[in-house]
Amino acid sequence: MPNQRPIIQASALTKRIDSGAHTVEILRGVDLAIPQGQFVAIMGPSGSGKTTLLGLLAGLDNPSSGSVILDGTNITGLAEDSLARIRGRKIGFVFQSYQLIPTLTAEENVLLPMELAGDGADPGRARDLLRQVGLLERRRHYPVQLSGGEQQRVALARAFAMRPPVIMADEPTGNLDTTNGLLVLDLLIELNRREATTLVLVTHDPEISSRAGRRILLRDGLIAADES
Ligand SMILES: Nc1ncnc2c1ncn2[C@@H]1O[C@H](COP(=O)(O)OP(=O)(O)OP(=O)(O)O)[C@@H](O)[C@H]1O
Ligand SMILES: [Mg+2]
């Protein structure tokens, strides 16, 4: 769709960390516009700034300079409570380490973002998502009763719970074996397609990135390549 406003617009993003004696420049000026619905893979060597960039795009961290506009709102410099509210509605996260709440069942984990947003839980939505990731029968299980791949499938369902316009995933298959990693990835891509979400996926795996509509290569804190 031409002329549509990007869902994420990052301009001249830098991130520096001052540690007394010297300054580490993690990001050195990143410009990036992501259209709604795009599946973007972010690649690059370890330490190139992928996780830092994702954190800035999500407002989990503040840039040293530059700005991020998320779905029309400039989130740079917003107070943490406003940021948290925007994040909760706009972004679903999938982490390498699942990050489920151990004292909640699978279903309760998926309901949690809705409860935190104060919208009231929608058990039908939670069950539909758990069904889509093949875990409806396990919805009353606690995370320790689930395998790594199953836990990550619950985390996928949780990420989509609020129907956020954007899903961000940082090496979501990094802790899984090849078979389970591929299963989780297929589910993520399929859910993303079905829900018409924007997917920003950090990955080291060229096979995974080959399935993305766009590949961005970070090197030393700069975009070294950007190909569709
Ligand atoms: N809080 C911090 N203080 C100092 N240096 C940091 C901090 N956070 C990140 N860095 C450094 O910034 C660089 C980029 O880190 P980042 O985690 O974004 O890399 P990455 O591309 O995600 O790497 P990986 O593939 O290993 O996950 C690294 O050199 C890291 O050591
Ligand atoms: Mg990282």
CA of 112 to the centre of ligand 1 (A): 29
pLDDT in tens, 111-151: 999 999 888 899 999 999 999 999 999 999 999 999 999 99
Percent of the residues in the chain that have a pLDDT greater than 90, as a whole number: 82
Q: What is the pLDDT of residue 5?
A: 84
Instruction: List C-alpha distances in Å: 212 to 6, 80, 128, 191.
Output: 17, 32, 25, 14
Predicted confidence (pLDDT) at residue 3 exceeds the cutoff of 70: no
Report the nearest atom of ligand 1 relative to the CA of 49. Answer: 18
Q: Say if ligand 1 is within 6 A of residue 50 CB.
A: yes
Q: What is the CA radius of gyration of the chain?
A: 17
pTM of the model: 0.92
- The larger pLDDT score, comparing residue 33 to residue 205, is at 33
Atom 28 in ligand 1: which residue has the minimum CA distance?
47
- Specify the ligand 1 atom closest to the Cα of 204: 25
What residue segments make up the domains of the chain, in order of their start? 37-60+79-227
Rounded to an integer, the average pLDDT of 151-166 is 95
CATH code of domain 37-60+79-227: 3.40.50.300
**Residue 54 is which amino acid?**
L
Sheet strands (E) in the chain: 8-19, 22-34, 39-43, 65-70, 73-74, 91-94, 166-170, 198-202, 214-219, 222-227
Residue 2: predicted pLDDT: 46
Distance 177 CA to ligand 1 centre (A): 24
The arithmetic mean of pLDDT across residues 20-34, rounded, is: 93
Protein residue closest via CA to atom 24 of ligand 1: 46
Q: What is the pLDDT averaged over residues 27-43?
A: 96
At a CB cut-off of 8 Å and minimum separation 6, what does 192 contact? Answer: 39, 167, 199
Residue 15 pLDDT class (50, 70, 90 cuts): very high
Over residues 65-109, the pLDDT tens digits come to 999 999 999 999 899 999 999 999 999 999 989 999 999 999 999
Quick one: average pLDDT of 34-41? 96
| Residues having C-beta closer than 5 Å to ion ligand 2 | 50-51
Nearest CA to ligand 1 atom 3: 17
- Residue 53 has, within 13 A of its CA and on its CB side, a CA count of 35
CA 170–ligand 2 middle distance (angstroms): 7
Which of 18, 23, 50 for mutating ligand 1's site (highest number of atoms within 8 Å of CB)? 50
Q: Is the pLDDT of residue 1 over 80?
A: no
Atom 4 (ligand 1) nearest CA: 17
Cβ atoms within 10 A of the Cβ of 190, count?
Answer: 13
Q: Which of 115, 28, 99, 225 is nearest to 214 (CA)?
A: 225
Q: Is 45 in the pocket of ligand 1 (CB under 6 A)?
A: no
**Would you state the pLDDT for residue 120?**
85
Number of the ligand closest to the Cα of 44:
1
Question: For residue 22, which phi and psi values (nearest 5 degrees)?
Answer: -140, 165
Q: How far is the CA of 173 from the centre of ligand 1 (A)?
A: 19
Percent of the chain with pLDDT over 70: 99
Q: Is the CB of 52 under 6 A from ligand 1?
A: yes
Question: 26 vs 5, which has greater pLDDT?
Answer: 26
Mean pLDDT of the chain: 93
At residue 76, the pLDDT reads 94
